[in-house]
Amino acid sequence: MTELVELTETIVKAIVKDPDAVSVKQFETDEDYILIQIMIDKEVMGSVIGRGGKIANAIRTLVQASSFIKGNQKIRINIDSF
């Protein structure tokens, strides 16, 4: 599963100006999905979410597609700031 975290981290770091301000972690849940938490600086939050959430949805789509190709569970991605 670390492949999905690495994929998510690579995508987000390519979007922001300061890649060191990005933290991506995976959490196992009791339900039938895996939670990936993206923590970014609040100043660049808009560039990761995009207008109307388009960029965030694209990130979710790419990671979910990668998970399905590998036969893994559903993915839930939360984006938060610090």
Q: What's the pTM?
A: 0.87
Q: Which domains does the chain have, with CATH numbers?
A: 2-81 (3.30.300.20)
Scanning the structure block, which residue is given the tokens 């998510």? 8
Determine the pLDDT at residue 61. Answer: 95
Whether the CB-CB separation of 56 and 8 falls below 8 Å is answered with no
pLDDT in tens, the chain (82 residues): 589 999 999 999 999 998 988 999 999 887 888 899 999 998 889 999 999 999 999 999 999 999 999 887 789 999 998 8
Looking at residue 71, its pLDDT comes to 82
Bin 63: left if φ > 0, else alpha if -120 < ψ < 50, else beta. Answer: alpha
CA distances from 65 to 3, 6, 43, 57 (A): 13, 14, 29, 12
Residue 14, pLDDT score: 95
pLDDT at 1: 52
Task: Please give the order of strands across the beta sheet that includes 33-40.
Answer: 22-28, 33-40, 74-81
